[in-house]
């Protein structure tokens, strides 16, 4: 299992539904400014849409190794998280503060961050993304537990 952080050699796959569109656009700009590549899987407006249509492509990119990590945004964060976690190689984490984003990486080797845009200020979403992408998995006692997630 990879104990390293994420690499800028591959893109961050990012997606959202209509409720997450504005955060996705701002996060995308922040990521690009920080030197990350970004693969935007939509949606591309605030028109009402279905979150699985965007969560699945993000999860598929991460699962296949075409993206180093994923970020998904919807109103509650739950819909995109549930959808992404249907993929065998995905460990999507619903986070609402920096500490949870850090622990999701350190203890769970999460590879997709799910953001609840209606429940966290944008600045918190930005801080969570930064922490998530720069925190490495600790391995050790956590590795055997993470290995038990996929059956």
Whole-number mean pLDDT of the chain? 94
- Which pair of tokens denotes residue 84? 């992404």
The DSSP code for 43 is: -
pTM greater than 0.85: yes
User: Could you state, in order of their start, the residue ranges of all structural domains in the chain?
Assistant: 12-147
- The helix, strand and coil proportions of the chain, stated in percent and rounded to the nearest 5, come to 45, 15, 40
**How buried is residue 144: exposed, middle or buried, by Cβ count under 10 Å (0-12/13-18/19+)?**
exposed
- Which pair of tokens denotes residue 62? 């991460």
Active site residue 16: no
The DSSP code for 11 is: P
pLDDT digits (tens, 9 = 90+) for 6-40: 999 999 999 999 999 999 999 999 999 999 999 99
Which among 18, 56, 107, 130 is annotated as catalytic? 107
Which CATH number among 3.40.1400.10, 3.30.70.270, 3.10.580.10, 3.20.20.140 corresponds to the domain 12-147? 3.40.1400.10
Task: Give the whole-angstrom CA distance, residue 22 versus residue 41.
Answer: 14
Would you say 124 and 98 are in contact if contact means Cβ atoms under 8 Å apart? yes
- Which pair of tokens denotes residue 120? 């966290």
> Between β-strands 38-40 and 12-16, what pairing exists: parallel, antiparallel or unpaired?
parallel
Active site residue 107: yes
Written as one string, the DSSP assignment of 126-146 is HHHHHHHHHPPP--THHHHHH
pLDDT band, residue 3 (cuts 50/70/90): very low
pLDDT band, residue 142 (cuts 50/70/90): confident
Which pLDDT score, from 0 to 100, does residue 4 have? 59
pLDDT band, residue 1 (cuts 50/70/90): very low
Which pLDDT score, from 0 to 100, does residue 67 have? 98
pLDDT digits (tens, 9 = 90+) for 82-131: 999 999 999 999 999 999 999 999 999 999 999 999 999 999 999 999 99
Which among 16, 74, 81, 114 is annotated as catalytic? 74
């Amino acid at each position: 299992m990879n104990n390293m952080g994420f690499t800028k050699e591959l893109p961050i796959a990012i997606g959202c539904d209509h409720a997450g569109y504005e955060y996705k656009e701002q996060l995308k700009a922040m990521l690009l400014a920080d030197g990350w590549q970004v693969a935007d899987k939509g949606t591309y407006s605030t028109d009402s849409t279905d979150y699985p249509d965007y969560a699945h492509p993000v999860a598929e990119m991460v699962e296949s190794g075409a993206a180093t990590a994923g970020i998904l945004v919807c109103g509650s964060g739950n819909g995109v998280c549930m959808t992404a976690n249907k993929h065998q190689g995905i460990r999507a984490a619903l986070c609402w503060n920096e500490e949870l984003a850090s622990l999701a990486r350190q203890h769970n080797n999460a590879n997709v961050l799910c953001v609840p845009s209606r429940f966290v200020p944008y600045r918190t979403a930005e801080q969570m993304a930064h922490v998530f992408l720069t925190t490495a998995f600790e391995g050790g006692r956590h590795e055997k537990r993470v290995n038990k997630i996929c059956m």
